[in-house]
């Protein structure tokens, strides 16, 4: 008896499943028409979507090791009397933070100035000018902009472009206009950077509506990123070099003045041997020797600072350079059509079962 009771739920489940399949089979024409309409809509959307091309590069940032100097460079420095043993590696940006640099406001402001060559234009234009005046967003983007995005457009017109007040200007804050903010959102969707910690390489790519522009933006972003990393890495060494150069020029002028003074004194007092003259000569020679020692030491430090700048400058080994893409990266039209077909099936099943459910509720309500 218990065995028969245990089999009852599974039998009911099977009957329910058969009922569902039977319901779908009865409404198969409706399902067919809805799915067919979705496929047609998917084909239309796939054909209307703008093409996109992706270009990128792969490079390996060569990080320096603390306290290590190349053999030839260290030997050359030792011959010049320069000790590089205590000069460790400076602080540097780890590759894991490269996405933070790419996503920064200052970096993206520089990307707006990148020059691209759209089809149909004679002279190159900036990225910002291209999307403000040249780019055609397409039919779907225009429809979406003035339907779903209409409230946002109205709000932006009401708010207007905010300008920084005098207090903000005094603090030297970075100001972002409403137009630039829209460009930044697009750039975040177009640019991609990944760091493979296991293999140690960085991949950077950029997506644009035309293949040449995609390659140009990817190359510009790569060079800009490497420049930012280099500037940060050699900042301390470069400041030290500027300071040493300024002190060197000052001591050089002082040394030349003392050198000329000593030469003039010797020319005027060649045949004099009084104690006063000799005392003054010794004093000038002592000043000369002191100035010469300081001048020589600063010359060594200057060369040492120049070597440090060269040592701290990161080297990027490019594994895969930027190239103009041949095939488009988006849209994937078969995938778009497949998604619309699946959505059509979901909509048709939801309509059939939903209608059946509400009809059953209505029957139950009428029976009461």
Q: Kindly state whether residue 153 falls inside one of the protein's structural domains.
A: no
Asked if the model's pLDDT at residue 14 lies above 80, the reply is: no
Do 357 and 214 reside in the same domain of the chain? no
Q: Which two tokens stand for residue 354?
A: 């939903």
Q: Kindly state whether residue 247 falls inside one of the protein's structural domains.
A: yes
Residue 203's pLDDT is 93
Asked if the model's pLDDT at residue 141 lies above 70, the reply is: no
Asked if the model's pLDDT at residue 34 lies above 80, the reply is: yes
Judge if the upstream peptide bond of residue 331 is cis by omega within 30 degrees of 0.
yes
- Per-chain mean pLDDT for the chain: 77
Residue of 67, 187, 79, 194 whose CA lies nearest to 127: 187
Asked if the model's pLDDT at residue 74 lies above 70, the reply is: no
Do 209 and 346 reside in the same domain of the chain? no
Q: Kindly state whether residue 255 falls inside one of the protein's structural domains.
A: yes
Q: Which residue has the higher pLDDT, 349 or 78?
A: 349
Percent of the chain with pLDDT over 70: 74
Asked if the model's pLDDT at residue 249 lies above 90, the reply is: no
Do 66 and 213 reside in the same domain of the chain? yes
- C-alpha span between 132 and 134 (Å, rounded): 6
Do 99 and 198 reside in the same domain of the chain? yes
Tell me the per-residue pLDDT of 319-355, one tens digit each, with 9 for 90 and over. 899 999 998 887 777 888 888 889 988 888 888 888 7
224 and 111 Cβ atoms separated by less than 8 Å? yes
Backbone angles phi, psi at 205, to 5 degrees: -140, 155
Of 161-175, 194-208, 255-269, where does the model show the most confidence?
Answer: 194-208
Do 213 and 107 reside in the same domain of the chain? yes
Tell me the per-residue pLDDT of 283-295, one tens digit each, with 9 for 90 and over. 888 888 888 888 8
Asked if the model's pLDDT at residue 24 lies above 80, the reply is: no
126 and 112 Cβ atoms separated by less than 8 Å? yes
Asked if the model's pLDDT at residue 318 lies above 50, the reply is: yes
Q: Kindly state whether residue 162 falls inside one of the protein's structural domains.
A: no
Q: Which CATH number goes with the domain that contains 196?
A: 3.30.1890
Do 69 and 123 reside in the same domain of the chain? yes
Q: How many domains does the chain have?
A: 3
Do 127 and 59 reside in the same domain of the chain? yes
Asked if the model's pLDDT at residue 300 lies above 80, the reply is: yes
The residues near 218 (Cβ < 8 Å, ≥ 6 apart) are 55, 56, 57, 204, 205, 206, 322
Asked if the model's pLDDT at residue 50 lies above 50, the reply is: yes
Res. 86 pLDDT band, cuts 50 70 90: very low
Which of 51-60, 108-117, 262-271 is least confident? 262-271
Q: Which residue has the higher pLDDT, 205 or 282?
A: 205
Q: Kindly state whether residue 119 falls inside one of the protein's structural domains.
A: yes
Percent of the chain with pLDDT over 90: 20
Do 92 and 187 reside in the same domain of the chain? yes
Do 137 and 202 reside in the same domain of the chain? yes
Domain carrying residue 349: 2-46+336-367
Q: Kindly state whether residue 169 falls inside one of the protein's structural domains.
A: no
- C-alpha span between 148 and 144 (Å, rounded): 5
Do 78 and 217 reside in the same domain of the chain? yes
Do 223 and 267 reside in the same domain of the chain? no
Q: Kindly state whether residue 161 falls inside one of the protein's structural domains.
A: no
Do 220 and 104 reside in the same domain of the chain? yes
pTM of the model: 0.62
Q: Kindly state whether residue 223 falls inside one of the protein's structural domains.
A: yes
Residue 1's pLDDT is 43
């Amino acid at each position: 008896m218990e065995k028969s009771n245990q089999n009852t739920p599974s039998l009911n489940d099977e009957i329910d499943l058969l009922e569902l399949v039977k319901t779908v089979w009865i409404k198969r024409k409706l399902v067919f028409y809805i799915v067919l309409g979705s496929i047609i809509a998917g084909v239309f959307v796939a054909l209307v979507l703008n093409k996109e091309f992706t270009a990128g590069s792969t490079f390996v940032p060569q990080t320096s090791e603390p306290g290590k100097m190349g053999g030839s460079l260290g030997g050359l420095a030792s011959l010049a009397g320069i000790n590089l043993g205590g000069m460790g590696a400076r602080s540097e940006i780890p590759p894991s933070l490269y996405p933070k640099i790419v996503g920064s406001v200052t970096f993206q402001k520089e990307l707006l100035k990148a020059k691209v060559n759209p089809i149909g234009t004679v002279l190159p234009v900036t990225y910002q000018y291209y999307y403000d005046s040249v780019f055609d967003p397409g039919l779907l983007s225009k429809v979406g902009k003035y339907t779903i995005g209409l409230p946002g457009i109205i709000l932006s017109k009401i708010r207007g472009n905010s300008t920084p007040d005098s207090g903000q200007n005094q603090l030297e804050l970075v100001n972002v206009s409403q137009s630039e903010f829209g460009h930044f959102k697009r750039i975040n969707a177009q640019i991609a950077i990944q760091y493979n910690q296991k293999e140690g390489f960085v991949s950077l790519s950029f997506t644009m509506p035309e293949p040449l522009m995609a390659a140009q933006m990817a190359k510009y972003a790569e060079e800009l990123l490497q420049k930012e990393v280099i500037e940060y890495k050699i900042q301390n060494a470069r400041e030290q070099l500027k300071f040493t150069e300024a002190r060197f020029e000052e001591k050089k002028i002082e040394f030349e003045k003392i050198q000329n003074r000593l030469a003039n004194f010797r020319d005027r007092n060649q045949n004099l041997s009084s104690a006063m003259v000799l005392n003054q000569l010794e004093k000038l020679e002592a000043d000369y020797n002191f100035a010469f020692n300081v001048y020589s030491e600063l010359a060594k430090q200057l060369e040492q600072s120049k070597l440090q700048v060269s040592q701290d400058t990161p080297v990027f080994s490019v594994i895969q350079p930027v190239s103009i893409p041949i095939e488009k990266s988006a849209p994937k039209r078969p995938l778009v059509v497949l998604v619309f077909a699946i959505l059509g099936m979901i909509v048709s099943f939801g309509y059939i079962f939903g209608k059946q459910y509400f009809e059953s509720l209505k029957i139950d309500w009428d029976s009461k």
